Amino acid sequence: MTCMVRSTLPLARLALLCLTLLAPRPAPAEARTDDPAAVPEPPASTPVARSVISSADRSATPTTDEAHARIQLEAAALIRPTRILAVQPREAAVIVAEPLSIEEGLLLLVADESGPLAWFRQVRERSDGAAFVLATPAQLPQTPAHLRGWLVPGALAADTLASWPEAATLHARIEAVSPGGRSAWLALGSSRGAAFGQTWWLRDAGQPLARIDVRFVTPHAAFGSVTPLVDDPRLEPGLRASLWPTPAQARRSRPASAIVHVEDRPSGVFLWVPAPPQADAPDEAHLDVLRDGTLVGHAVVEQKEDRFWFARVTPALTPQRPQVGDEVRVRSGRMIAERDVDARVFEVTPDGGLLNIGESDGAAVGDALRVYRGAESVALLEITRIRGEYAIAAVRESRPDYRIAIGDLARWNPPRSAPPDVAAVERVVGGNLLSLKNLASTPLPLNVPLALRDGAATVGVVFVVESSATSAIGFAVKESLPRLPRVGDRLRGRGEP
């Protein structure tokens, strides 16, 4: 039998892929024995399993301020400044002061008086230091005067994933696909954030096409089983998958998905939503539908299957109709327990307003919710009746000019305020090195993952390595980028960790 994959791989990895796909193996108890994509979890005694466990430990959910502080300190220790001893223009190399051992993936960020200069990669050990050669095009000076350097480990993404900001996620290129499209290799391993048990998804213009459940991880690649979410998703090498859910969504237990199909039925409009991985949510979960960060609809789950949830759209909150590719946010059990739920007025009545919260959200007669417009409270509502998936609320207190309206946001607890923009990208070098204009009144925090923003969208994670009150130098983590940074992108300050 010949093993064929739609990609050109190094011989060692190709051999491993063939063995993985074709070698007989016992199926785990929970896996279907007729599933050719099923790969058993490596035994805990193997080196691979230890690597996977270590990666999972690094991504453990922090639950206290002390844990968040520890993560920041670890990031600060990971990115460390170093002194540049010499420049070798002919070899396109620099020598740093530390007598470093060879560390896989270690990079050197070099800057001069004008900002970031280039990335360098380590090549050999020396008794008086370590040599790094250019990894991105740059014109080297003749002397080390005015040069500064920072050592950035290859495992930075894996070691800081647990503190990445909201909406920032990992991205990985699909390296190979099995002949039947039931399994695939991702070109991202445990050294850069992949871990056994993760779920990744492939999307096109927002529409989910397939999910990839990681079954086996090496330091440089991850193997997963593929579940199609549309007919014939056509997985190909070179396409990019994204970690699902994002690190912050998993950390805060805020499940999310996207609409894969909209169906008109006699009983109403129904949404097909890929079942969010490990979602702790009521059977009749409420879903908020967003487009470009703006609320466009609401739905209630009426049926759950292994691959999809089917949700009925409730009376319109906005003139928009939910469409394929729209984001879906799920009200999880943790959000309900913490009363961290956004309720919206979807109909105004003589008795007050109808809110899209119900018994499954923990709502009860007598509950008081405040209405917010922006960050300001403008009224107090009291629930007078519960009707299954919605509640009837009366206005008890309000500003003189307040009139209850469709779309009003009502909450048990105040909404989280978004952190401010603290910097703007002024120059991009080597793809992801950044010169920044400081918009804050003080130097920016160093070695802390910050959100790179394009309007309302998060487009990556940035670490600042040097800052004054007016300018800064940083870099975007390549694994976090759906696209390269651009001049004008903004950095958002650290908010909810």
What domain range includes position 477?
A: 421-492
Taking a C-beta distance cutoff of 8 angstroms, is the pair 207, 184 a contact?
no
For residue 339, the one-letter residue type is R
Residues 425 and 407 in one domain: no
220 in a structural domain: no
For 439-489, list the strands marked E by DSSP: 450-454, 457-467, 471-476
108 in a structural domain: yes
Identify the burial level of 119 via C-beta atoms within 10 angstroms of its C-beta, where 0-12 means exposed, 13-18 middle and 19 or more buried: buried
167 in a structural domain: no
Could you give the number of structural domains in the chain?
Answer: 4
Partners of 257 in the β-ladder: 328
Residues 361 and 407 in one domain: yes
CATH number for 469: 2.40.30
Taking a C-beta distance cutoff of 8 angstroms, is the pair 167, 451 a contact?
yes
Residues 318 and 348 in one domain: no
Q: What is the pLDDT along the chain (497 residues), one digit of tens a residue?
A: 334 333 434 434 444 444 344 333 333 333 333 333 333 333 332 222 222 223 333 333 334 445 444 444 555 678 999 999 999 999 999 999 876 777 888 999 999 999 999 999 998 776 667 899 999 999 999 999 999 999 999 999 999 999 999 889 999 999 999 999 999 999 999 999 999 999 999 999 999 999 999 999 999 999 999 999 999 998 999 999 999 999 999 999 999 999 999 999 998 899 999 999 988 999 999 999 999 888 899 999 999 999 999 999 987 778 889 999 999 999 999 999 999 999 999 999 888 899 999 988 999 999 999 999 878 899 999 999 998 889 999 999 999 999 999 999 999 999 888 889 999 999 999 999 999 999 998 999 999 999 999 988 899 999 999 999 999 999 999 999 999 999 999 999 875 44
CATH number for 351: 2.40.10
Other C-beta atoms closer than 10 Å to the C-beta of 4 total 9
